Structure 1
Amino acid sequence: MSCITIRNIFIFILTFNFCAALNAQNKSVAQTPPMGWNSYNCFGSAVHENEVRANAGYMAKNLKQYGWQYIVVDFLWSYDNPPGSNIGNPFQKNLEDGSFVPWLAMDKWGRLTPHVNKFPSAFGGKGFKPLAAYVHSLGLKFGIHVMRGIPRQAVWAKSPVLGAKGITADMIADTSSKCPWMNHMYGLDMAKPGAQEYLNSILNLYAQWGVDFIKVDDLSRPYSAAEIEGYKKAIDQCGRPIVFSTSPGATPVNKADHIKQHANMWRMADDFWDEWKAVLQMFDYAKEWEGTGGPGHWPDCDMIQIGKLSKRGPVGKERYSRFTRDEEYTHMTFWSIYRSPLMLGGNLPENREQELKLFTNSEVLAVNQHGTNPRQLYKTQNAMAWYSHVPGSKDLYVALFNLGDAQQNVSVDFSALGLKGKIAVRDLWAKQDLGVFDQQYQQKINTHGAALLRVSEKAR
């Protein structure tokens, strides 16, 4: 056998092993629902680097030991918000030459970069690499929000596409594909040569920065299957394990098999905010998606609306959550029993003791991270129950909800759970054993409140 043949075989084995390792690496992300913080609910499009660092510092000190790990910069980080602005305004075409005003921070390859007025450490073409390195130094992971497609200003500028010789941005854009609420981007025509190379180029850039999580907006309505597949391919080739989240909803339920295959989490609904009616609506969305979650793919109830919200928009005035204390417990209880990703939306340094208590109960968070096969047990006009299985045992997690407008008893029949005999009940929020019960358990629950339990058959 010649040296050339042996060398080729050796190269093939190395390449095969690398690809296999990379594939396994990418499949390893989001094996449990991701837990972290996102800047949108408290800062809209106007978050600045010092504020991201402050939230990361708070998480590292107070929350990391409970499993919280992602720090995510939400939308318009390439846009220079004017002083005092709450949200990035749509940019307009320059009447003289057709260029766009204001000009987003962008490199020569048509890839958006962080605006240095918001993120000073990005100066000199460093991008998010310094900020990601800081977040990583705290033992946390770093994420960003991106809009689907390619910047309109890149199309206007005919920016060359990295990795696609002779292809420019205007040759791969689908100018008829536009986000209805943000005029910065065009969709990509994934059938065009160079479209996949463009997505590869931006994911390679994000990998160089040290990004661990991308939230890609405007993929779900209409459902953009080709672009979803394009982002997944780009992630798979970039050499870094990156969680892929699609946003917002409502993701079509009939696309469940497709989205499970290509994304790690997907929004079931439009933006969720701190109103009780939104909680009731989320219960219905969750029922529609029941049974679709599992390691590597999670239906997403949206961010946790608890803490200091809307400091610079985007909805309402600056405030602590409008939820009552009982509604906050219902919020956290349902997101936990359902195994939704948990992304905190409030400004963490302004948390009070009541917020910290909600975010650091290890027994409650275990329901979210480890409970399996969550299912709705029953729902009436005034009450609801969900349950999931405790891995490695016959125990069950049970969540009881008072949906009515007055305090009432909410119950669970043990036979409906397949349990027999004497049943031990533990209150996970209180971390207290409540006793042993026959046939059923009931608890008086405040208006719009909830209970989260662990129930166990006693040895007979």
Structure 2
Amino acid sequence: MKLFKHLSLILISFLVVNCKQNTEKKVSEVSVQNEAKTDTKDFKTWAMTPPMGWNSWDCYGPTVREDEVKANADYMAEHLKDFGWEYVVVDIRWFVENTKRHGYNQKDPIYVMDEYGRYLPAQNRFPSATKEDGFKALADYIHNKGLKFGIHIMRGIPKEAVENKLPIKGTDGITADQIYTTENQCKWLKDNYTIVADKPGAQEYYNSIFELYAEWGVDFIKIDDLSAPIYHEKEVELIRNAIDNSGRAIVLSTSPGATPFDAAEHVSEHANMWRMVNDVWDSWDHLDHLFDVSKAWYPYIGGGTWPDCDMIPLGRLSIRGERGDDRMSKLTNDEQYTLMTLFSIFRSPLFFGGDLPSNDEFTLSLLTNKDVLKMHAESIDTQPLFYKENSIAITSKHKDSGDTYLALFNISDEDTLDVEVNLSGLNLNGNITITNLWTGEKLGVFNNTFSQNLKPHASGLYKLETAE
């Protein structure tokens, strides 16, 4: 009897210790899982400098393939990563098997989606994708190069999910046909319907797709048809909630523009970047329009949220794109400098649109100027100095040194101009050393005024320091 009691006590002690160890192990595992999740309380900390990367739209439209994405990621890792470029973004309709160039196949698209009405990558274009893991293999490939992975989606819920009454994950029997409306459906692409934000299941649907994207390893999401012709405030809020609920830092880019300025406060509290204009292509009139539209947005530059000038239409464009045929950018060299100067001093997100492996030396030089990129990442207090009929001056300061940056533009179509700045208007007095940021050339010591002779559509970018 004593022996039995003794053995019982040993057994009980063993079970208690084992239970404690298992509990501690589970707590430890939960702790590790929680540490792996991102603190989503302040999404603005995810993009404290303007995001920089590559997007497939300008060169491949809705037709990009996995091998092309990888080739651009390889180029970025080798040539651009050390300069701050990091996002690789698969643009529109990656879930359609039978896409086409110069527009969209809306006659008989073959969609790929799961049982919950969530789009999946088309395996004929993305061979590493599976129904179970989606883009995870491609995301892993990009992450292993020290880069980040992004995708594009349209707002709303797939028409096919509505027609088939597919269930919404995370709900008790709510189906896609119970949360949609045909009102305000996108006019130029009919894949999705609008989600009615206050319907039960609406938030759960957005939660379900961002849960999926977080599992894949998505770091960046570009969402289309959110801002124009109307600003979809309620869907923006659903998206913000869903990203925060996903447990992963996913930078949010709203597209396209023009985002209405009366939505400035709202969009800057829900998105990391938002488009100011519609698509910018390699045409001077698009750039000229961007100068005009950007005037209103200076107060919203910085703090993890960024007015967006759109993608950079340089290098080799429209290999299978929407606008025109396979070509190198039609902008002149002066116009390309002007575009990069505006995007950089304005601190727009920088997303290159051309095919990176096709870059020539000139195009690469526009993306790898350390002094220009330092200004782009580290400047503050960006503001217009003047907007005249044919000339513009924009200024900012380095956040630590206090050095002044100055961009001058001649936007005239015909006239060469002397674009002059009064240095006292920049609170600069005495002798000022001025350096051309693009070339590194020191232009000399100036006081009172600084003037540059600029050809039509040309520009200059300078750093101004108090002379010793």
SS of 1:23 mapped into structure 2? coil
CA-CA distance at 1:348 after TM superposition: 0.4
Deviation at 1:85, TM superposition (A): 4.2
Aligned pairs, how many? 439
Please, which runs of 5 or more residues in structure 1 have no aligned partner? 1-6, 92-100
2:104 to 74, 81, 88: 88
The equivalent position to 2:405 in structure 1, one of 394, 397, 406, is: 397
Q: Is the 8 A contact 2:98 2:109 kept in 1?
A: no
Q: Tell me, in whole angstroms, the C-alpha distance in 2 between the residues paired with 1:138 and 1:297.
A: 26
Query: How far 1:435 moved relative to its partner?
Result: 1.3
Alpha-carbon distance, 1:24 to partner: 4.7
Residue matched to 1:427: 436
Q: Tell me the equivalent position of 1:95.
A: none
Contact 1:26 1:240 in 2 (8 A): no
Distance change in 2, residues 1:343/1:20 (3 Å): closer
In the other structure, the counterpart of 1:157 is 164
Moved more, 198-207 or 286-295: 286-295
Q: What is the match of residue 354 of structure 2?
A: 346
TM-score (norm 2): 0.90
Matches within 5 A, 1:409-428: 409-428=418-437
SS at match of 2:184: coil
* SS, match of residue 47 in structure 2: coil
Is the Cα–Cα contact under 8 Å of residues 25 and 241 in structure 1 kept in the other structure? no
Distance in structure 1 (CA, Å) of the matches to 2:308 and 2:396: 17
What is the alpha-carbon distance in structure 1 between the residues aligned to residue 197 and residue 300 of structure 2? 27
1:408 shift after superposition: 2.7
Q: One-letter code of the match for 1:432?
A: E
In the alignment, structure 1 residue 444 sits paired with structure 2 residue 453: yes
| Partner in structure 2 of residue 334 of structure 1 | 342
Give the secondary structure class of the aligned counterpart of 2:46.
coil
In 1, the alpha carbon distance for the partners of 2:113 and 2:38 equals 33
1:87·1:312 contact (CA, 8 Å) conserved in 2? no
> How far apart, in 1, do the equivalents of 2:35 and 2:73 lie?
33
Q: Note if 1:177 corresponds to 2:171.
A: no
Contact 2:41 2:244 in 1 (8 A): no
What is the aligned counterpart of 1:71 among 88, 107, 128? 88
Aligned to 1:457: 466
1:40-61 Cα distance to aligned partner (Å, 9 max, x none): 0000000000000000000000
Q: Pick the aligned partner of 2:79 from 49, 57, 62.
A: 62
Q: Residue 255 of structure 2 corresponds to which residue in structure 1? A: 247
Aligned to 1:97: none
Q: Is the 8 A contact 2:185 2:192 kept in 1?
A: yes
Question: In 1, Cα distance between the equivalents of 2:36 and 2:250?
Answer: 16
Q: Which residue type is aligned with residue 449 of structure 1?
A: A
- Which whole-Å deviations, capped at 9, do the CAs of 1:145-195 have from their partners, x for residues lacking one? 000000000000101000011100000112223000001000111100110
- CA shift digits 1:220-269 (9 cap, x unpaired): 02100010011000000101101000000111101111000000000001
Identify the match of residue 273 of structure 1 among 263, 278, 281: 281
Post-superposition CA distance 1:79-136 (Å, at most 9, x none): 1135x74443114xxxxxxxxx433000000000110111111134321100000000
Aligned with residue 151 of structure 2, among 141, 144, 158: 144
Letter paired with 1:211:
V
- Decide which moves more: 208-217 or 360-369: 360-369
* Correspondence list, 1:155-234, <5 A: 155-221=162-228, 222-234=230-242
The structure whose Rg is larger is 2
One of 372, 385, 398 as aligned partner of 1:377: 385
Instruction: State the distance in 1 between where 2:162 and 2:110 align.
Output: 13
Find the residue that maps to 2:351 and give its secondary structure.
strand
Shift of 1:20: 11
Work out the CA distance in 2 between the residues paired with 1:61 and 1:25. Answer: 32
Structure-to-structure mapping, 1:291-330, within 5 angstroms? 291-330=299-338
- Indicate the larger mover: 405-414 or 214-223: 405-414
The answer to whether residue 126 in structure 2 is matched with residue 119 in structure 1 is: yes
1:418, 1:76 → 2: CA distance? Answer: 50
Output the TM-score relative to the length of structure 1: 0.92
Residue 396 of structure 2 aligns with which residue?
388
Rate the CA distance shift 1:251–1:124 in 2: closer, same or farther, 3 A: closer
> How many Å separate the matches in 2 of 1:446 and 1:61?
35
Partner of 1:367: 375
* Contact 2:421-2:449 at 8 Å conserved across structures: yes
In the TM superposition, residue 75 of structure 1 has moved relative to its aligned partner by 0.2
Instruction: Give the superposition deviation at 1:279.
Output: 0.9
Q: Which residue of 2 aligns with 1:96?
A: none
Percent identical pairs in the alignment equals 47
Q: Which runs of 5+ in 2 are unaligned?
A: 1-22
Equivalent AA in structure 1 for residue 390 of structure 2: N
With over 3 angstroms needed to count, the CA separation of the structure-2 counterparts of 1:107 and 1:233, relative to structure 1, is: same
Aligned counterparts of 1:50 and 1:170: Cα–Cα separation in 2:
36
